[in-house]
Amino acid sequence: MTTAAAPSSAALALDAACDHLLALQEPAGWWKGELQTNVTMDAEDLLLREFLGVRRPRDTEEAARWIRSQQRDDGTWATFHGGPGDVSTTVEAYAALRLAGDPADAAHMRAAARFVLDAGGIEASRVFTRIWLALFGQWSWRDLPVLPPEMMFLPPWFPLNVYDWACWARQTIVPLTIVSAARPVRPLPFTLDELRTGRRVRRAPRGGWEAAFAALDRALHRYERRPVPGLRRAAVRRAAEWIVARQERDGSWGGIQPPWVYSLIALRLCGYGLDHPVMRKGLDGLERFIIRDEQGRRLEACQSPVWDTVLAINALRDAGLPPDHAALVKAAGWVLGEEIRGPGDWSVRRPGLRPGGWAFEFDNDVYPDVDDTAEAVLALRRVDHPDVRPAVERAVTWMAGMVSRDGGFAAFDADNTRTLCTRLPFCDFGAVIDPPSADVTAHTVEALVAEPPAPPARPDLVRRAVVWLLKAQEEDGSWFGRWGANHVYGTGAVVPALVAAGVRTDARCVRRAVAWLESHQNDDGGWGEDMRSYTDPSWIGRGASTPSQTAWALLALLAAGERSEAVERGVAWLVSHQRPDGTWDEPFFTGTGFPGDFSINYHLYRLVFPISALGRYVAAVGATAQPHETAVAEQAGHSEAGGTRTVAP
Q: Could you give the residue numbers annotated as active site?
A: 371
In terms of C-beta distances under 8 Å and separation of at least 24 residues, what long-range contacts does 165-168 make, across chains too? 165/416, 165/421, 165/432, 165/433, 166/412, 166/413, 166/416, 166/431, 166/432, 166/433, 166/434, 167/254, 167/345, 167/346, 167/366, 167/367, 167/412, 167/413, 167/434, 168/254, 168/256, 168/258, 168/259, 168/412
Beta bridge partners of 292: 297
As to burial, measured by CB atoms within 10 angstroms (0-12 exposed, 13-18 middle, 19+ buried), residue 126 is: middle
Alpha helices in 53-140 (DSSP H): 57-69, 87-99, 107-118, 127-135
List, in order, residues 6 or more apart from 478 with CB less than 8 Å away: 487, 488, 490, 491, 513, 516, 517, 540, 541
Beta bridge partners of 592: 599
Question: DSSP letters along 14-70, please?
Answer: HHHHHHHHHHT--TTS-----EE--THHHHHHHHHHHHHT---HHHHHHHHHHHHHT
Question: DSSP letters along 432-466, please?
Answer: --B---HHHHHHHHHHHHHSPPPTTS-TTHHHHHH
CA distances from residue 401 to 10, 393, 398, 643 in whole angstroms, order as listed: 41, 12, 5, 46
Q: How far apart are CA 322 and CA 335, in angstroms?
A: 18
**Phi (first) and psi of residue 297, to 5 degrees:** -120, 125
Contact between 65 and 106 under an 8 Å Cβ cutoff? The reply is no
Q: How far apart are CA 452 and CA 187, in angstroms?
A: 59
Q: Name the 3-class secondary structure at 471.
A: helix
**Phi (first) and psi of residue 481, to 5 degrees:** -105, 105
